[in-house]
Structure 1
Amino acid sequence: MVNENEVLKNASVVTTNACKLCTPLGACIAMKGIENAITLLHGSQGCATYIRRYLISHFREPIDIASSNFTENATIFGGGLNLSTGLRNVTTQYQPTLIGIATTCLSETIGEDVGTLIRSYQKEEAEQQPYIIHMSTPSYKGTHAEGFHAVVRAAAGTLAKDGPPRKQLNIFPGFVSPADIRYLKEILTDLALEYVMLPDYSETLDGPTWDDYQKIPSGGTPVTAIQTMGCSQATIELGRTLDPEETAGAILRDRFKTLRFQLGMPIGVRETDLFFELLKTFTG
């Protein structure tokens, strides 16, 4: 017979950190690593408000996240009109170089065909529009890490172009802190290596005090630099937990025949030695 008191005595409390299960949250962080870019969440207003509030309290930096603001009608009949209106408003108010559209649970659950909606919007708008990338990021499909890497894949897959070979490296640092990215950049600069770091939020999420308000903080990887990733001599991806066939480096390898190296985070003697040995082959 089960003793209820013994069960309760040995029971443990199970909690879930909702932030670690929020795929669009990771997408919003990665988008901060692209210069003059802004995120538009295709879904309800609450998602954008929650993520913005959480990131601001963590990084102590101003963060704007747009939303297509689903209503009851949009939930039933589709949010195409909301999305096109949101894109026009964001373009007018922020004048971004790139808009990243990340879906939420609501838009994914009703089966929104965001790719088709984006193409229809681009045909309707005759004037020059910012670049648009799209990520499928429902929170029931993964964690904040999946959302982060979805942005990196979408940016590299959508923006990278072919061209004359360049003596530069593509660096995908993974989901690390702004200080980690800053240190990686310092290492690459000391070795006199040309590189494209994606994403680079070392300034946008850890910047100085402003003298004047900026709608979009300065810093991040320029879109023009991302476009040259297909011309780089090699790609270095950090993080052994990534599926080697589902990464931005794999996209560049398959499309542009770019060499790809997947290493662990350079923490500890073994991984650090591997990282520096690889960098050494591209110096001189």
Structure 2
Amino acid sequence: MISIPKLKNTDSTSFFLMAGPCAIEGRDMALRIAEHIVTVTDRLRIPYIFKGSYRKANRTKIDSFTGIGDEKALKILQEVSQTFGIPTVTDIHESHEAALAAEYVDVLQIPAFLCRQTELLAAAARTGKAVNVKKGQFLSGASMKFAAEKINEVNPDAQVILTDRGNSFGYGDLVVDYRNLPEMAAFGVPVVMDCTHSLQQPNQTSGVTGGKPKLIETIAKAAIAVGADGLFIETHFNPSEAKSDGANMLPLDQLEGLLERLVRVREAIL
């Protein structure tokens, strides 16, 4: 299990969960989503990390939603952590963002397209925070050892997490190769399956990324079955109204039932 401050239920034999909205859209929505997930994960004894991007940098169109303001969103993440006693995770995109985000959150996330950016990885490592690196859609699981090595060269004590989010399959689709999970686990780090971004259909002609959210449960069950330590799921009260990545989000009211079924899958393979 991962060693992150505020991570509860670490004596559980279950997987851990990173979940929340794609982007922080406002204070009330973040707190409501966090409260709902905390209630569910506490009951199921699933260690939980709240996820929310304080800023979205990788967008298809220049007028796409990018955020409500960096400091405002980061303070909301901090409030979520303090209110519910849980760790939080957010993306960083450039080296100078690492120190700023580290003042407010417990885990710094490196987006998949940036997983080879040496200075970004080094900056995250220097903060002393846990670092979750998304595997690039263009990489194998085995090649992610270099990302982990970069972080630990800068900070040998850094907690590295590696997350799979599918591989490019043609120009507008992704496919999940479950060999990536044991390949990354061989590096001695926790491995996570991103069950929502792996179902994206990027680069659509509309300029809005599509997705296949009906397959989230399929992706999650298979990941647990092959030994994933954690799951990453973006969720929203109303995905159709989400300002980012709504096409591949899980409706929040479906999360509890899904997690109950996943706990049973986990118990069956132990």
Same fold (TM over 0.5): no
Q: Which of the two has greater helix per residue?
A: 1
Q: Scaled by the length of structure 2, what TM-score is found?
A: 0.28
Higher relative contact order (CA closer than 8 Å, sequence separation 6+): 1
Between structure 1 and structure 2, the one with the greater Rg is 1
